[in-house]
Chains A and B, each alone.
Chain A
């Protein structure tokens, strides 16, 4: 019994320790925002890597999700003669929830893994040490541009994903479910409120921040060798995904609880 309790205690302590280390990492990253030098070129490169190059995967995910959502809501709504809600529910569902969450998770899979692998490999091959000896702070040069770029890029991806997801629902609505195209569009636009869109974009920014932070944190703390980098990559994706889902609940409570 005591052994079991000790095991729980160790796990709790280890989790609290990990949260503390991540919090310190975040503080250490953000304090570089205000002090020069600023690496604008690195920021621009990361904006392209994280934002532009994630567009296909986020767009495809949103497109198919929007289409599937339309079919599901139609099938569910038909049970109580509420098929007409398909356009509005697809729009609200995509913008408030599925756009940011699925977009965030896809970016976590694509970007957190790549950041962790890249920085982890740099650590293992002494490139991080080389940066320090070249009078360049790795937090400022590697971490901050990635975190800022992801925080800015993911809301943009979410916005585009929302539009593509709604379009996916629209195509299914008019081609498979026999909705009138004009009526579908009117119902989509009329039921959306600015707060729906804003909440989704704020979620996107938060998820982008989480993805890049966890990618950088895992990479910077990567173990030695290929196995160490592999573990860092896995840890980055898992922790970013779990944190995205947890943050999604907290933000939804903050925005929409009565």
Chain B
């Protein structure tokens, strides 16, 4: 279980998180929605320890994120970054098997390659992609490679940062289905941030809306449309008028 308790984070005079309280149950898929610049990525990165909160505590299964032994703690996570964040200098298979080629999860090279190719196949990519460089792939393929890398070491917790941004609707659908299948199949806990409402409906068990640095609304995805919350209503229907200012 992931718990954020009264988490604050500012960058200079810009208070991004102003007391975020959030819980993600083990094995559940939570999607955080909210406008651009509302701190969704900061919240996600705070859980991973990439950003240190100014105030508040974040725990994963009762263990404080800041005091946990880094390598063992991070070994439980997989993350798909918004732009893929693939390492340009490494071929695709080495990107996917990065964790399996070094550190405590190190395997023999041939075995790591085999696992990488299997994970690539799992996300719908052919084995001949394995030896190509990330720059030679389309945006959708890069996302899928990023997804393969996120699941390569079979993590307990997977984070997805804007998994469908920049993709066409069909590829977005493919990625959404893959994420859902993988999360269910692996029994992993998932946290996703997105603006894409079709992703929300495809991926989420629960939804949390971040606005003005706090969780504005949270609940099961099925309750989202009848929430009665004006902020959430405006966001999910994409209305220009409402309590959320269009120009922020």
Contact = CB atoms under 8 A, between A and B. Distances in A.
B98 A134 contact: yes
Interface string A126-139: 11011011111000
Contacts, number: 48
B79 A130 contact: yes
A245 B209 CA distance: 55
B74 A135 contact: yes
Contacts of B102: 37, 39, 136
A133 B48 contact: yes
Contacts of A129: 45, 50, 81, 85
A133 B74 contact: yes
A125 interface: yes
Interface string B29-50: 0000000000000000100111
B75 interface: yes
B247 to A, nearest CB: 21
B99 interface: yes
Contact of A133 (B77, B86, B104): B77
Nearest to B99: A134
Contact of A130 (B70, B75, B81): B81
B74 A132 contact: yes
B74 A126 contact: no
Contacts of B50: 129, 132-133
B71 interface: yes
Q: Is the interface of B mostly helix, strand, loop or mixed?
A: mixed
A125 B83 CA distance: 7
Contacts of B75: 135
A126 B83 contact: yes
Interface string A91-131: 00000000000000000000000000000001001110110
A135 B87 contact: no
Contacts of B45: 129
Nearest to B72: A135
A139 to B, nearest CB: 12
Nearest to A127: B85
Interface string B78-105: 1101110111100000000011001111
Contact of A126 (B49, B71, B81): B81
Contacts of B104: 135
B25 to A, nearest CB: 22
A136 B103 CA distance: 8
A130 B99 contact: no
A135 B85 contact: no
Contact of B71 (A122, A127, A130, A135): A135
Contacts of B98: 134, 136
Contacts of A37: 102-103
A207 to B, nearest CB: 26
A136 B88 CA distance: 16
B87 A127 contact: yes
Nearest to A36: B103
A215 B3 CA distance: 39
Contacts of B85: 125-127, 129-130
A179 to B, nearest CB: 49
Contacts of A132: 48-50, 74
Residue of A39, A122, A125 most packed against chain B (CB within 10 A) = A125
Contacts of B87: 122, 127, 130
Nearest to B106: A37
Contacts of B82: 126
A7 B88 CA distance: 43
B26 to A, nearest CB: 20
A219 to B, nearest CB: 14
A133 B79 contact: yes
Contacts of A135: 70-71, 74-75, 99, 103-105
A133 B73 CA distance: 10
Interface string A161-184: 000000000000000000000000
Interface of B: 45, 48-50, 70-71, 74-75, 77-79, 81-83, 85-88, 98-99, 102-105, 149
Given A134-B99, A134-B149, 14 more contacts: A126-B82, A126-B83, A127-B88, A129-B45, A130-B86, A132-B48, A132-B49, A132-B74, A133-B74, A133-B78, A134-B74, A134-B98, A135-B70, A135-B75
Interface of A: 37, 39, 122, 125-127, 129-130, 132-136
Ranked nearest first, the 10 interchain pairs of A and B with the lowest CB-CB distance are A130-B85, A126-B85, A135-B74, A133-B79, A135-B71, A126-B81, A134-B99, A127-B85, A134-B98, A135-B103
5 contacts: A37-B102, A132-B48, A132-B50, A134-B98, A135-B104
